[in-house]
Amino acid sequence: MALSGGHLIDGKWRRDGGGGFNCFNPATGEALEPKFAEAAKEQVDAAMHAAPFALHDSASLEARWPARLLDSIAECILKLGDSLLDRAGAETALPNARLISERARTVGQLAMFAQLVKDGAWVDAVIDTADPSRKPIPKPDIRRMFRPRGTVVVLGASNFPFAFGVVGGDTAAALAVGNPVIVKGHPSHPGTSELLASAVLEALESQNLPRGLFALLQGRSHELSAQLVTHAETRAVGFTGSRQAGRALFDLAAARPEPIPVYAEMGSLNPVVILPGAIRDRAQAIARELCASILLGGGQFCTKPGVILVFGPADPFVNTLQQQISATGPVTMLNQPMRDSLAARVLEWSKIPGVDVLTASSPSGFASVSPALFHTRAAVFMREPHLQEEAFGPAAVVVECSEIDDAQSVLRCIGGSLTGTIHIGPDDDAKPILSMMQELVGRIVVNGYPTGVEVCDAMMHGGPYPATTDASMTSVGAASIRRFVRAIAYQNIPDDLLPPALQNANPLGIERTINGQRTKARIEQSRV
Amino acid sequence: MALSGGHLIDGKWRRDGGGGFNCFNPATGEALEPKFAEAAKEQVDAAMHAAPFALHDSASLEARWPARLLDSIAECILKLGDSLLDRAGAETALPNARLISERARTVGQLAMFAQLVKDGAWVDAVIDTADPSRKPIPKPDIRRMFRPRGTVVVLGASNFPFAFGVVGGDTAAALAVGNPVIVKGHPSHPGTSELLASAVLEALESQNLPRGLFALLQGRSHELSAQLVTHAETRAVGFTGSRQAGRALFDLAAARPEPIPVYAEMGSLNPVVILPGAIRDRAQAIARELCASILLGGGQFCTKPGVILVFGPADPFVNTLQQQISATGPVTMLNQPMRDSLAARVLEWSKIPGVDVLTASSPSGFASVSPALFHTRAAVFMREPHLQEEAFGPAAVVVECSEIDDAQSVLRCIGGSLTGTIHIGPDDDAKPILSMMQELVGRIVVNGYPTGVEVCDAMMHGGPYPATTDASMTSVGAASIRRFVRAIAYQNIPDDLLPPALQNANPLGIERTINGQRTKARIEQSRV
């Protein structure tokens, strides 16, 4: 399939807009064809204009249309076959095996959300029926359910070109609950974005759904992101990326005449605390496994363990970790600016008094870098703000603590993270660290590693700032739809005017909460 | 009981802080004793310092301690008896019957949240058990539940001195899920605030709970609110009041180094659309009932219907409404600034070309004003931004529309509201208006009136900006706790380190979702 280099707006590929840019193969530095158009205000307006019509038109469809759409998108993605894997490989330098597993995860996410739609209980229908005889005033009939928020903007991530790309978790969650989605593709992999968008278009066409439900805009500029976030039609934003970019978008959204939520999943230090008993018990194994976790995907995971807290010198552990890291060859990062950014950060760290370079990192090739490992003490870590910022890529810092209080201070200094990990050995008292992590992170892992985020009902992929801009939300798993819904209550509405999910006969056959009881039963009583 | 005029901080009444202020009886203009201290940074810091210790200490208590606290607070409020009603009456000019019913609602809210805690399912425990044999990688055990966010600041409302005051809905919801709460009492009724806080203190003492779980700070200044919202310890804010104040607090919170949510429930126009068939069918009845709704509580309800859309001249309805409004005597408002603000707004409206004054309003006494009614056409309403702002108090505007399109444009121009009401008569097609209201409001009422917010599971008291700062949240009903919780996931955590709500044996006996099934069963399988 030849790439158009254009935007997908209201079901049509358009190559208009300003400029034009190539992306690069990070392994070779080769500029990849074609040149991609850059969306400007006109293209943003066109996509934003189409979306509310699509939302309106879809409201008259049978309630479970998003399931058909998501299942069909998954099918169309798989149909792209090697063309998708090859292009993504060229644009990201991610190995084919990783891309295959990420594609499986992406298709799995789409299936999970489709299943959620088929089940139907996600609308969280809560019905309190009337009691006309209540004193002193009659009790009205109130029925509440989730509805789509409206147009959702998704800014695709660089590091998961499929799973958090054009039809990644954010898009799937927003579409599942019926919102139109406008995606800004990440400029590192525009060809991958176009291929994925073509799968969405094919699905919309095959299911005969409004084309305005989905748009892809290509571009490199911060201005494009800003236009999308500040557009009057935008109701919510999903973002995965750096703290700097996420905060900038959050600030723009908060300053709008009508503020909207930006659900930004940003950088995270993901502290790992290895208690003394665990070091005594299994220092070598933890060091080997932790090294694999640090370097998974070239260290380019938002859950990468970036700070490791140990008690005392912990030599057996630190030495093994150092050997493992040092024995690893250069990693090709997702793009050159990211590599340069990592190189600059580790150079900065290496100059901080009190920081030991255990494994020196060096850039190579177009976008490659060898992994880096640092060591310091708690007091140094706490007084150096630069050490407390994420180094995105293959790098980590071991922080030596003298006691639990020390480790707690370091954790508080790190602040919000997506994850916190504790390795516990015989006789270790994990409670003080666990208790503090409950205040600071979204997911606590014991005797394991934070990379590898299970896509399931119970997942919480989020956490206090700066991990995200909304600590109450997850961007992975079924609960991630909560970002893109809004509840509405209907008071004394005639049955035929209610959405099907709330009608007496329960025509969708979904589980609802009626007067405090969860049930699939219909409501027999006559309405007020 | 003699009032101290002080703040309640960590279980002690303190009269320190700057200044000192009296409040006034709005019916007479009399300054009420005593003078109340004004909290400054020192008092804010003291309350903020005590709160995290209280949170930490309460974590080791049996899980359902908030139920004991809330039930005890309700009991202590009732024990205050006439002293509370008398003081609130003097400070607000609200009639005794209204205060008695509002007290009943407040006690009812506390009981509802206590029941939620006793039931225990509010933690939304979701458990996906491990599958060590899954390929290609083993499935971990993931368990998620809601936890308290941390210190919550509540800024009490003026118009519901009990139900949205010191221990109103926001405080009850935040305490129910285990958060410490710091309340800034509304300066219009500081004595009422002190009495309610004394009930909380008595409950904390009788239940032997950490005193730092609750604080009351008195003061009039915006600076005090700003200090509370920007304090590093604050995790979330509940606010009920004007759009201007709510937005200012939202902006402060968004600009923090670590942004926090401000759940502001602000002004609302609460449009009422009366379709032609309803006018033909029951113009007189609607006019009488609508007049009662507009004037309920002196028009000082956030759900007061402020804009009434009719089709054509609709004389029988408009004339009756005008007669009803004109026949009503002056209303004593909650305080003088509010009365002055209403008087200024209606004066402004009366000067707008194309706006007819159906009932002229005039201020009287210290804080009284007679009700006002205006009439205009859709085109005028849409071009005059001042008409689109809430007039808090006994005033409303009838907007004459020529057709449904016209009404839809007016609704879009009004934007977000807490409620939208439609009166439907024989042969009326309500769908176009209903469909638009689904985009714009939090609660839709048919053939009824928006005032009187039922406290129940299904209630949604919220709506798109400017009704609130977070359209996905409600500030009334059981779901209002969602504002004050944050989910945490636990991955492969040993059973004895898990919170009781997530342990295999289900020691709390709560309903949980285990591998997709809702159940109260224990988990029998061995853990990874």
Query: Most A CBs within 10 Å: which of B460, B485, B528, as the mutation test of the A interface?
Result: B460
In a domain, A454, yes or no: no
Query: Which residues of B belong to the active site?
Result: 265, 302
- Say whether A401 is catalytic: no
**Tens digit of pLDDT for each residue in B460-472?**
999 999 999 999 9
- Kindly report the nearest CA distance between residue B52 and chain A, in angstroms: 11
ipTM of the complex: 0.96
d(CA A144, CA A491): 9
**Domain co-membership, B314 together with B398:** yes
**Tens digit of pLDDT for each residue in A184-237?**
999 999 999 999 999 999 999 999 999 999 999 999 999 999 999 999 999 999
Range of the domain at B314: 272-446
pLDDT at A525: 66
d(CA B245, CA B158): 13
Which among B290, B362, B276 is positioned nearest to B324, based on CA atoms? B290
**Tens digit of pLDDT for each residue in A388-433?**
999 999 999 999 999 999 999 999 999 999 999 999 999 999 999 9
Q: Percent of chain A having pLDDT more than 90?
A: 96
Would the CB atoms of B254 and A258 count as touching at under 8 Å?
A: no
The nearest alpha carbon in chain B to A52 belongs to B439
B136 upstream amide cis, omega within 30 of 0: yes
**Domain co-membership, B247 together with B317:** no
Could you tell me the CATH number of the domain that includes residue B327? 3.40.309.10
d(CA A414, CA A271): 8
**Domain co-membership, B312 together with B350:** yes
Instruction: Compute the mean pLDDT over every residue in chain B, rounded to the nearest whole number.
Output: 96
Would the CB atoms of B472 and A487 count as touching at under 8 Å?
A: yes
Number of domains in chain A: 2
Q: Which residues of B touch A497 (CB under 8 A)?
A: 430-431, 434, 446
Q: Give the three-state DSSP class for B436.
A: helix
- Spatial CB neighbours of A478, under 8 Å, sequence gap ≥ 6: A112, A113, A116, A122, A456, A457
Burial (CB < 10 A; 0-12, 13-18, 19+), residue A431, is exposed
In a domain, B230, yes or no: yes
**Domain co-membership, A308 together with A260:** no
Q: Which residues of B touch A440 (CB under 8 A)?
A: none
Residue B39 phi, psi dihedral angles, 5° rounding: -70, 140
pLDDT at B430: 97
Q: Which residues of A touch B488 (CB under 8 A)?
A: 438, 441-444, 460
Catalytic entry in A265, A384, A390, A400: A265
**Domain co-membership, A258 together with A278:** no
As a whole number, mean pLDDT of residues B460-488 equals 96
Would the CB atoms of B457 and A493 count as touching at under 8 Å?
A: no
- Kindly report the nearest CA distance between residue A228 and chain B, in angstroms: 19
Comparing CB atoms, the residue among B143, B258, B472 nearest residue A486 is B472
pLDDT at B17: 73
Would the CB atoms of B487 and A479 count as touching at under 8 Å?
A: yes
**Domain co-membership, B333 together with B196:** no
Whether the per-residue pLDDT at B507 is higher than 60: the answer is: yes
**Tens digit of pLDDT for each residue in A231-256?**
999 999 999 999 999 999 999 999 99
pLDDT at B526: 56
Whether the per-residue pLDDT at B511 is higher than 50: the answer is: yes
Q: Which residues of A94-108 are buried (b: 16+ CB within 10 A; e: fewer)?
A: beeeebeebbebbbe
pLDDT at B257: 97
Q: Which residues of B touch A460 (CB under 8 A)?
A: 144, 487-489
**Domain co-membership, A411 together with A431:** yes
In a domain, A527, yes or no: no
Q: Which residues of B touch A482 (CB under 8 A)?
A: 472
**DSSP H helices in A166-314:** 169-176, 190-206, 222-230, 243-254, 276-295
- Kindly report the nearest CA distance between residue A15 and chain B, in angstroms: 33
Whether the per-residue pLDDT at B305 is higher than 90: the answer is: yes
Whether the per-residue pLDDT at B87 is higher than 50: the answer is: yes
As given in the structure block, the two tokens for residue A304 are: 């990468």
d(CA A226, CA B124): 36
Whether the per-residue pLDDT at A526 is higher than 70: the answer is: no
**Domain co-membership, A255 together with A403:** no
**Domain co-membership, B122 together with B80:** yes
- Kindly report the nearest CA distance between residue B69 and chain A, in angstroms: 23
Would the CB atoms of B259 and A258 count as touching at under 8 Å?
A: no
In a domain, A294, yes or no: yes
CB pairs under 8 A between A and B: 187
Instruction: Compute the mean pLDDT over every residue in chain A, rounded to the nearest whole number.
Output: 96
Comparing CB atoms, the residue among A259, A447, A485 nearest residue B469 is A259
**Domain co-membership, A110 together with A239:** yes
Query: Most B CBs within 10 Å: which of A388, A483, A486, A497, as the mutation test of the B interface?
Result: A486
**Tens digit of pLDDT for each residue in B68-78?**
999 999 999 99
d(CA B70, CA B207): 10
Q: Give the three-state DSSP class for A11.
A: coil
pLDDT at A16: 84
Would the CB atoms of B126 and A424 count as touching at under 8 Å?
A: no
- Compute the C-alpha angle A436/A438/A439, nearest 5°: 70
Q: Which residues of A touch B486 (CB under 8 A)?
A: 464, 471-472
As a whole number, mean pLDDT of residues A78-85 equals 98
- Spatial CB neighbours of A463, under 8 Å, sequence gap ≥ 6: A268, A416, A417, A418, A419, A440, A441, A442, A443, A471
**Domain co-membership, A243 together with A288:** no
In a domain, A500, yes or no: no
Would the CB atoms of A128 and B416 count as touching at under 8 Å?
A: no
As a whole number, mean pLDDT of residues A156-173 equals 97
Q: Which residues of B touch A464 (CB under 8 A)?
A: 258, 486
d(CA A473, CA A465): 12
- pTM listed for this prediction: 0.97
- Kindly report the nearest CA distance between residue B443 and chain A, in angstroms: 4
As given in the structure block, the two tokens for residue B382 are: 């849409």
In total, chain B counts a number of residues equal to 528
As a whole number, mean pLDDT of residues B355-372 equals 96
Confidence of residue A1 (pLDDT cuts 50, 70, 90): low
In a domain, A85, yes or no: yes
Could you tell me the CATH number of the domain that includes residue A236? 3.40.605.10
pLDDT at A41: 96
In a domain, B500, yes or no: no
**Domain co-membership, A50 together with A184:** yes
The nearest alpha carbon in chain A to B469 belongs to A259
Whether the per-residue pLDDT at B111 is higher than 50: the answer is: yes
Confidence of residue A528 (pLDDT cuts 50, 70, 90): very low
d(CA B45, CA B59): 22
In total, chain A counts a number of residues equal to 528
In a domain, B307, yes or no: yes
Whether the per-residue pLDDT at A527 is higher than 80: the answer is: no
Whether the per-residue pLDDT at B528 is higher than 50: the answer is: no
pLDDT at B99: 98
**Tens digit of pLDDT for each residue in A303-358?**
999 999 999 999 999 999 999 999 999 999 999 999 999 999 999 999 999 999 99
Q: Which residues of A29-54 are buried (b: 16+ CB within 10 A; e: fewer)?
A: eeebebebbbbbeebbebbbebbbeb
pLDDT at B184: 98
